[in-house]
Amino acid sequence: MTFKPGSLIEVAAQASAVLERAGIKVAVVGGSAITSYVPNVYTSKDIDFAAINGTTRRAFTAALQPLGFSPQGRDFVHPNSQFTLDLVADTPYVDQRPITKFQTLDTRFGPVRVYLFEDAIADRIAAFLHWADSESLDVAERAIQAHAQKPSWRRISQTLRKLDSSDPQAARRLNVALKRLKAAYNCR
């Protein structure tokens, strides 16, 4: 397969295709998942992948070589891509909760699996809960406002309530996040 430059989701689709041929099923996770849904809200410069059924870095490296990506430190780079690739987990998780359902997005280079929108939002909110990363809350808020299809508030809220908020600071931040995201949802 010859690599063709494109958007984040198009590069992810090309990488997913070569990984699938090598028997490695992956999903786009982290900030890259948000970019997949609302590229004008947040642009990740690295594409975070999680292997659905596990893999090794060696297998991941070998599978990406025909596409022209090579390891450089933790990332995989291509001379014609503005995006780097990263194998961030050997299985997909949001806040220690395994993720087993994904959205398949179609691109001109074929399909690519991505966190469900609600899980992508929860991933950003987990960063806010545990590390006080206010930028992640801002991104989640803007993503809810900008998503082309109105997401289900009930599903977003249920997914957020699965996050670990046992720490008092995390519980307080979860309440802040729920209020801000609900307000963003209502402003659509």
Above 90 in pLDDT, residue 33? yes
The answer to whether 50 and 27 have CB atoms below 8 angstroms apart is yes
Can you give the three-state secondary structure of the chain, one letter per residue?
Answer: CCCCCCCHHHHHHHHHHHHHHCCCCEEEEHHHHHHHHCCCCCCCCEEEEEECCCCCHHHHHHHHHHHCCEEECCEEECCCCCCEEEEEECCCEECCEECCCEEEEEECCEEEEEECHHHHHHHHHHHHHHHCCHHHHHHHHHHHHHCCCCCCHHHHHHHHCCCCCCCHHHHHHHHHHHHHHHHHHHCC
For residue range 157-181, list pLDDT tens digits in order.
999 999 999 999 999 999 999 999 9
Name the pLDDT band for 188 (thresholds 50, 70, 90): confident
Who's near 135: CB < 8 A, 6+ residues apart?
none
Residue 149 above 90 pLDDT?
no
Average pLDDT over residues 5-33: 97
As a whole number, mean pLDDT of residues 36-62 equals: 93
**CA–CA separation, 99 and 86 (whole Å):** 18
Confidence at residue 91, expressed as pLDDT on a 0 to 100 scale: 85
Residue 118 reports pLDDT greater than 80: yes
Q: What is the pTM of this model?
A: 0.94
- Strand-pair partners of 93: 98
Question: What's the average model confidence in pLDDT over 41-62?
Answer: 93
Could you give the percent of the chain with pLDDT greater than 70?
A: 100
pLDDT score of 90: 81
pLDDT digits (tens, 9 = 90+) for 89-109: 888 999 989 999 999 999 999
| Mean pLDDT over the full length of the chain | 95
Separation CA 122–CA 143 (nearest Å): 12
Given pLDDT bands bounded at 50, 70 and 90, which one contains residue 138? very high
